[in-house]
A and B are shown apart, each in its own frame.
Chain A
Amino acid sequence: MTVSQGSAPDFLDPGLGYTTQAANADWISYTGLLTYAHEAGTAGSKLIPGVATDLGKISPNGRVYVFTLRKGLVYSNGEPVHARDFAHTIERSIKLNWGGKSFFTGNIEGAEAFDKGQAHTISGITTNELTGQIVIKLLSPFGAFPNVLAFPSAALLPSNTPMTNLSNNPPPGVGPYMITNVVPNQSYSVVRNPKWSQDNIPGIPAGHVDIAVKINPNTQSEAERVLNNTADIFDWADTIPPSLLPQIESHASDRFAKESTVSNFFFFLNTQTKPFNSELARQAVVTGLDQRALSRLNSGFLAPGCFFLPPGMPGHPRGACPYGDPNAAPNIAKAKELVQRSGMAGTPVTVWSETRAPKREYATYYTNLLNQIGFKATQKVIADAQYFATIGNLSTNAQTGYANWSQDFPNPSDFYLLLDANSIQPQNNGNFSQVKDPHIQNELAVLNAVPTTKLASVVSRWEALDEYVARKAYVAVFGYGQQPKFFSDRIDFGAAVFHPVYGNDWTTIQLK
């Protein structure tokens, strides 16, 4: 079975991997205390026990999590799994500078001191080898912490795993698969773990086939190979070239589908500087956006919508959009009127975007729209690698531009990092609109503390907050991501699960 990936994983070492390509292989090769159900749709967002016996016990103040390790677990090399391995794993991810390490250092007691070299261990993690108990103390309640524990970077590794990047020879883990034969930037194999039968964790399938992954940066040939059945799986994170789409839709409709991902696409609107410090100016943008046009720029792989929380994320509002139907033509006359009323007509605006298609094309459309409704817009396109660092630098003071967000984990707190005033920082700022709204802050203070396992109890409150954000037009959302599920003729398309967090679930891939 051959998977064709357009981009190589950033790291195959679970302590470092942070891209979708890395996660595809890592989440089935490395299991944490908790993991996700191997199901499609919202069922796949459900946390299930991984190497822990259950979902853990949370103290009434929400600051202490207690887990117990399953008995008899072994790594793919046959070594037994120990409770102390968890502490080593978290320390290793921090020392290796994993891209999401702030989830650990910002939440676990003593993790920041460990990161700074002020402590040899993380004081907030204690383990008991006899009972298999793992106790984690948090600095303050963080409702999404169970999701953090489900990251592959929190998946247990043997305590003797060196604190170096092992991407070329990934360490043993607990999971139905293991990663072997790594040729950097060219290929790697994900083969079934012969020791998995000893672990056999409920809810995690054993897998049906071994997988050879080939890196193919040319998405055109990547798609052609799957279409011609010389490769079996098209990387779900890649975009099918628009020129091939009609052919795929007509000749391979039984093995191609557009799958919704929990992600949003939006133009940020800097609320701290002209012209978008004016609510009317922001409303004008949202009113004038033609989501049908933006969807066509992404070959139709965008589901229209106006709310910040995407469908599939608890808290996504079910009500109507406040500034018009996103499936219909926009009201340009109304948008022009709003610009005039805002007093911002003629204000120079720089629209920022990345180079890669279709992001540049989004910005081109958007620049044209801003000029059409009364602003004086110009476009600034910069290299993809520097884009988010540039607009995330407060000294750039970017007025507006393209941004998107894909869930790290299925909890609305993850998306609201981008609208949280507390997350505004001089560099690597993710709150591109620089939203500082007391109402949002008050709500987040309560909602962020609610554990993921009790999220259902506050869904309506998240919905209300998201509707409020849409009314205030802090961002101009223009759709939700859809990605291709595209296989060769050999694969049982119906049996393969498209997971809401990790995309194609390779444990469910099987031959017809």
Chain B
Amino acid sequence: MSVASGLPAAPAGREGATPGLGEVILGPGAVTPGLGPYRLAWRRLRGNRVALAFGLLFLAIALVSVLAPLYAHQIAKTGPDENHITETIKVGGRTLEVVSPGGIPIGPTWRSRFFLGADQNGRDIAVRLLYGGRNSLFIGAVATTITMVLAILVGLLSGYSRGPVDGVLSRAMDVLWAYPAVLLGVALGVVFALGGIDLGLFHLQGSSLLVPAVIVGVVYVPYVAKALRGQVLGLREREFVDAARAQGLGHVRIMLGEILPNLASTIVVLVPLMLANSILREASLSVRGAGVQPPSPSWGTMIAEGIRFIPAAIHTTLVPGIMLMLAVLGINVFGDGLRDALDPRARVRVGRSPVSAEIET
């Protein structure tokens, strides 16, 4: 079975000459000659209204999160970390305490201040939700970047080189894979939250958002690297790679110029799925106190802080929980649509606990 056979051809002309890869089957018997694979994928994606709608939902969440400072300063008139525990607010002619003497925070006021209610420290949940979104999405994006870059490097080197290099890299990935992702994340998160990460020139403070981003990013590398390695093992035996070797191209050029473009569609499919997983993993680390450090908000930390107020102030967990669900749902459904568009026959699955990524054709 050829791993790459179900994937669309890369736009480069070299693979376009490969028999069969220039033609993309749309449906039984239908052939559209001369249409590029990515244009074809875009056409398929446009036809998938559900995926587009969820993609737009995710974009909308990202956009409002980016605009958090605008909402905080112009509408809510408070920052994400500002405590208002003993203050009062007028709602419908009634004066209400932001946090009651018994410690229960106010619920949604549906007004500019405390629109979605307050948390136990009297902080505006709507403001923190948006700032938390920025943090969660930032960590998700950075973690995904780290995962993909490292996984591509490992996958390429491992699959292309085979032999001892593959042996060492694969065993290293196995070790990382064998450790439960949550436990590993929590262990690293707790350690680094205290002392930060110090690698000589590269130093991160314990409270830096990059700490959970690096942890989540590294923890997921094996799950993607193994999938890519499997593909590279197949691709390196293909005729176009033999042709490149015959032309005297070096290993690095073959890996980057011949094999990597053929991984592109897989990578494109994996990115949104890994983004969703990274956002979820950040939340799960933060719930356990090993992710985003207080007082910085993230959807995970907000859920963790609100748990002890269930059911008296359920908005403290419900609001960030719904936001997290919508964001992950949005990117996941869009990612599925993207996968279907890029290769209707491929099945790329990225599970969550434990995460597993595999590509079958």
Does A329 sit at the interface, judged by CB under 8 A?
A: yes
Does B34 sit at the interface, judged by CB under 8 A?
A: no
CB-defined contacts of A290 to chain B, threshold 8 Å: 85-86
Closest to B293 in A: A381
Closest to B79 in A: A368
- Contact B100 A296, beta carbon cutoff 8 Å: yes
Does A192 sit at the interface, judged by CB under 8 A?
A: no
Does A159 sit at the interface, judged by CB under 8 A?
A: no
The contact string, 1 if C-beta is below 8 Å from chain B, for chain A 129-171, is 0000000000000000000000000000000000000000000
The contact string, 1 if C-beta is below 8 Å from chain B, for chain A 286-326, is 00001011011111100000000000000000000000000
- Contact A368 B83, beta carbon cutoff 8 Å: yes
Chain A 348-398 interface residues, beta-carbon cutoff 8 Å to B: 355, 357-358, 360-361, 363-365, 367-369, 371, 378-383, 386, 390
CB distance from B333 to the nearest CB of A (A): 34
CB distance from B269 to the nearest CB of A (A): 38
CB distance from B228 to the nearest CB of A (A): 36
- Contact A364 B83, beta carbon cutoff 8 Å: yes
Give the distance in Å from the alpha carbon of A371 to the alpha carbon of B312 in the complex: 31
CB distance from B104 to the nearest CB of A (A): 6
Give the distance in Å from the alpha carbon of A360 to the alpha carbon of B121 in the complex: 10
Closest to B313 in A: A243
Stretch of B170-178, B236-244, B303-311, B350-358 at the chain-chain interface = B303-311
Which among B85, B309, B310 is the interface contact of A365 at CB below 8 angstroms?
B85
CB distance from B107 to the nearest CB of A (A): 13
CB distance from B215 to the nearest CB of A (A): 16
CB distance from A398 to the nearest CB of B (A): 12
Give the distance in Å from the alpha carbon of A299 to the alpha carbon of B81 in the complex: 20
Does B28 sit at the interface, judged by CB under 8 A?
A: no
Which among A243, A365, A383, A390 is the interface contact of B289 at CB below 8 angstroms?
A383
Does B120 sit at the interface, judged by CB under 8 A?
A: yes
Does B206 sit at the interface, judged by CB under 8 A?
A: yes
- Contact A299 B83, beta carbon cutoff 8 Å: no
CB distance from B26 to the nearest CB of A (A): 55
Give the distance in Å from the alpha carbon of A426 to the alpha carbon of B106 in the complex: 45
CB distance from A302 to the nearest CB of B (A): 10
Does A241 sit at the interface, judged by CB under 8 A?
A: yes
Does B190 sit at the interface, judged by CB under 8 A?
A: yes
Q: How many A-B residue pairs have CB under 8 A?
A: 99
Known contacts A243-B308, A292-B86, A381-B294; decide if A364 and B121 are in contact (CB<8 Å).
Answer: yes
- Contact A364 B294, beta carbon cutoff 8 Å: yes
- Contact B120 A361, beta carbon cutoff 8 Å: yes
- Contact B193 A381, beta carbon cutoff 8 Å: yes
- Contact B103 A383, beta carbon cutoff 8 Å: no
CB-defined contacts of A364 to chain B, threshold 8 Å: 81, 83, 121, 294-295
Give the distance in Å from the alpha carbon of A264 to the alpha carbon of B311 in the complex: 30
Known contacts A364-B295, A365-B83, A365-B85; decide if A296 and B103 are in contact (CB<8 Å).
Answer: yes
Give the distance in Å from the alpha carbon of A369 to the alpha carbon of B83 in the complex: 8
- Contact B311 A243, beta carbon cutoff 8 Å: yes
Does B99 sit at the interface, judged by CB under 8 A?
A: yes
CB distance from A251 to the nearest CB of B (A): 14
CB distance from A416 to the nearest CB of B (A): 30
- Contact A296 B99, beta carbon cutoff 8 Å: yes
CB distance from B247 to the nearest CB of A (A): 57
- Contact B81 A368, beta carbon cutoff 8 Å: yes
CB distance from A228 to the nearest CB of B (A): 16
Known contacts A246-B104, A364-B121; decide if A379 and B308 are in contact (CB<8 Å).
Answer: no
- Contact A296 B313, beta carbon cutoff 8 Å: no
CB-defined contacts of A365 to chain B, threshold 8 Å: 83, 85, 121
CB-defined contacts of B289 to chain A, threshold 8 Å: 355, 381, 383
- Contact B310 A243, beta carbon cutoff 8 Å: yes
Interface centre among A297, A363, A368, by most chain B C-beta atoms within 10 angstroms, is: A368
Give the distance in Å from the alpha carbon of A367 to the alpha carbon of B296 in the complex: 12
Give the distance in Å from the alpha carbon of A381 to the alpha carbon of B101 in the complex: 25
- Contact A298 B206, beta carbon cutoff 8 Å: no
- Contact A357 B308, beta carbon cutoff 8 Å: yes
Give the distance in Å from the alpha carbon of A243 to the alpha carbon of B313 in the complex: 7
Does B109 sit at the interface, judged by CB under 8 A?
A: no
CB distance from A99 to the nearest CB of B (A): 24
Interface centre among A361, A378, A390, by most chain B C-beta atoms within 10 angstroms, is: A361
CB-defined contacts of B193 to chain A, threshold 8 Å: 381-382
CB-defined contacts of A245 to chain B, threshold 8 Å: 102-104, 312
Does A242 sit at the interface, judged by CB under 8 A?
A: yes
- Contact B308 A296, beta carbon cutoff 8 Å: no
Closest to A367 in B: B295
Interface centre among B100, B121, B293, B310, by most chain A C-beta atoms within 10 angstroms, is: B121
- Contact B312 A242, beta carbon cutoff 8 Å: yes
CB distance from B301 to the nearest CB of A (A): 10
The contact string, 1 if C-beta is below 8 Å from chain B, for chain A 329-363, is 10000000000000000000000000101101101
Give the distance in Å from the alpha carbon of A296 to the alpha carbon of B99 in the complex: 7
Does B82 sit at the interface, judged by CB under 8 A?
A: yes
Give the distance in Å from the alpha carbon of A361 to the alpha carbon of B305 in the complex: 9
Does B145 sit at the interface, judged by CB under 8 A?
A: no
Does B207 sit at the interface, judged by CB under 8 A?
A: yes
CB distance from A367 to the nearest CB of B (A): 6
CB distance from B122 to the nearest CB of A (A): 8
Closest to A301 in B: B103
- Contact B86 A296, beta carbon cutoff 8 Å: yes
Does B149 sit at the interface, judged by CB under 8 A?
A: no
Which among B120, B122, B295, B305 is the interface contact of A379 at CB below 8 angstroms?
B295
Known contacts A241-B308, A361-B120, A382-B193; decide if A299 and B86 are in contact (CB<8 Å).
Answer: no
CB-defined contacts of B206 to chain A, threshold 8 Å: 380
Chain A 244-263 interface residues, beta-carbon cutoff 8 Å to B: 244-246, 249
CB-defined contacts of B122 to chain A, threshold 8 Å: 293
Does B168 sit at the interface, judged by CB under 8 A?
A: no
Known contacts A379-B294, A381-B193; decide if A293 and B86 are in contact (CB<8 Å).
Answer: yes
CB-defined contacts of A220 to chain B, threshold 8 Å: 308
Closest to A366 in B: B83
Q: Which residues of A contact B (CB under 8 A)?
A: 220, 241-246, 249, 290, 292-293, 295-300, 329, 355, 357-358, 360-361, 363-365, 367-369, 371, 378-383, 386, 390
| 27 chain-A/chain-B pairs, Cβ below 8 angstroms | A220-B308, A242-B103, A243-B313, A246-B102, A290-B86, A293-B122, A298-B103, A299-B102, A300-B102, A300-B103, A329-B86, A358-B103, A358-B120, A361-B121, A364-B83, A364-B121, A365-B85, A365-B121, A368-B82, A368-B83, A368-B121, A369-B83, A378-B207, A379-B295, A380-B194, A381-B294, A386-B194
Extra 16 A-B pairs, beta carbons < 8 Å, given A246-B104, A361-B305: A242-B312, A245-B102, A249-B102, A290-B85, A293-B122, A296-B103, A297-B85, A300-B103, A355-B289, A364-B81, A365-B83, A379-B294, A381-B193, A381-B294, A382-B193, A390-B194
The 10 closest A-B pairs by CB, nearest first: A243-B312, A293-B85, A299-B103, A242-B103, A368-B83, A364-B295, A296-B103, A355-B289, A296-B99, A293-B86
